[in-house]
Amino acid sequence: MSNKVTVLGSLNVDTILRIPRLPQPGETLKMDDIGVAGGGKGANQAISAARSKSHVTFIGGVGNDVQGEMMLKLLKEDGININNVAKLNEGTGQAFILLQESGENSIVIYGGANQAIKTTVIQNAMNDIKDSDFLVAQFETPLEVTNEAFKLARELNVKTILNPAPATDILDELKKNIDLIIPNETEAELLTGIKVVDEDTCRQAADKLIDQGINNVIITLGKQGAYYKTKDGVCELVPAFKVKAIDTTAAGDTFIGALVSKLDTSFSNLREAIIYASKASSLAVQRLGAIPSIPYKDDVEKQLNSK
């Protein structure tokens, strides 16, 4: 049976600038190539979940512009319900990605319509949230909207997953309504004050987040893998699949969307879901772009089943 997932998040048009390396202050650097693709953490996570066969509803905002039409078309192509995407007077969100030859990237974001949505979008989406197994959000939309969504989800007995990116202080009211938090090592450090470099420091950071009232924690560590810990004390570092990365842009988002598509609402299969999500992410980083790189369920399972 497929999970029903609602994603509250960002919709961005990505402009990808391929460069040998980051320029130094005052330096002019020649670009190797330029491309445009759909993106935004919310869109990436929603499409990842949809391509892993979840039934996905999106809550967010776009502008009344060609970029907005492009993003709505991309969501519809993957069968995502867009009835709760508001068309606003602000411009559609955009991201400018500096992609280095190493595969690492640096990103500058214009929030636009993503930052203009109001809490009314949550009330309008109540029936879709109520019908969901999971509600997923990031921090590329206003905090008060996320807080309202998670409060409603808790009232409706819908499990909540927060990807705290970009990292910022989490409201105490929001913490008590988070069932699973998924930061990377940088975000985990900003949230806990603990520099995350290995399994021991992952455990310390996870303990601190659990002490704050968050039941389950996954800290993604890039090439090292993903560390998880539950409120019951179950914990493990699940190694990543070793591949040659070409573009890491949507790696974390692919992981989260794939994970939520496999996860049971009891969180009893957390390790199995992490392995599936890690494989999906490993496929994404071997391709260029955000949305174009996100794999489909058949591809992921074929790779998992191959020796």
pLDDT tens column, 154-195: 999 999 999 999 888 898 999 999 999 999 999 999 999 999
pLDDT attached to residue 171: 87
Is 207 known to sit in a ligand binding site?
no
Q: Which residues pair with 285 in a beta bridge?
A: none
Does the annotation list 140 as a binding residue? Answer: yes
pLDDT score for 167:
87
pLDDT the model gives residue 44: 96
Q: What phi and psi, each to the nearest 5 degrees, are found at residue 24? A: -80, 160
**Which residues are 162's β-sheet partners?**
137, 181
Known binder of ligand: residue 141?
Answer: no
**CA pair distance 276, 282, nearest whole angstrom:** 10
User: 16: which strand partners?
Assistant: 35, 97
pLDDT, one tens digit per residue, over 254-281 is 999 999 999 999 999 999 999 999 999 9
Cα(81)–Cα(252) distance, integer angstroms: 23
Convert 148-161 to b/e letters by CB count within 10 Å (16 or more is b): bbbbbbbeeebbbb
Place of tokens 């491309």: 35
The answer to whether 12 is a known ligand-binding residue is yes
d(CA 46, CA 41): 9
Residue 152: HSE in the Cβ half-sphere, 13 Å Cα cutoff: 24
Q: What b/e sequence results for 85-121 when a residue is b if at least 16 CB atoms lie within 10 Å of its CB, and e otherwise?
A: beebebbbbbbebbbbeeeebeeebbbbbbbbbeeeb
| Mean of pLDDT values over 64-93 | 97
Strands 93-100 vs 105-110: parallel, antiparallel or unpaired: antiparallel
> 134-137 and 4-8 as β-strands: parallel, antiparallel, unpaired?
parallel
Instruction: Say whether 281 counts as a known binding-site residue.
Output: no
Cβ atoms of 257 and 47 closer than 8 Å: yes
Under 8 Å between Cβ of 8 and 145 = yes
Q: pTM to 2 decimals?
A: 0.92
Token pair 């509250």 is found at 8
Average pLDDT over residues 78-105: 93
Rounded distance between C-alpha atoms, residue 87 and residue 100, angstroms = 34
Name the DSSP letter for residue 239.
P
Q: What are phi and psi of 82, to 5 degrees?
A: -110, 15
Q: Is 216 among the annotated ligand-binding positions?
A: no
What is the CATH architecture assignment of 4-22+33-299? 3-Layer(aba) Sandwich (3.40)
pLDDT at position 26: 97
* HSE value, Cβ hemisphere, 13 Å, CA-based, for 245: 22
The reply, when asked if residue 111 is annotated as ligand binding, is: no
| Segment 116-121 mean pLDDT | 96
| φ/ψ bin of 222: left (φ > 0), alpha (ψ from -120 to 50), beta (otherwise) | left
pLDDT band at 133 (very low <50, low <70, confident <90, very high): very high
What average pLDDT does the chain have? 94
In the predicted model, what is the mean pLDDT of residues 91-100?
92
d(CA 302, CA 79): 22
d(CA 150, CA 96): 29
Give the model confidence (pLDDT) of 204-249 as tens digits. 999 999 999 999 999 999 889 999 999 899 999 999 999 988 888 7
Name the percent of the chain lying above pLDDT 70.
Answer: 99
107: pLDDT strictly greater than 90: no
The CA distance from 208 to 225, in Å, is 20
Instruction: Look up tokens 């993903």; give the residue.
Output: 226
**Mean pLDDT of the 14-41 span:** 92
| β-pairing verdict for 216-220 and 226-230 | antiparallel
- Residue 307's pLDDT is 57
- Which residues are designated catalytic? 253
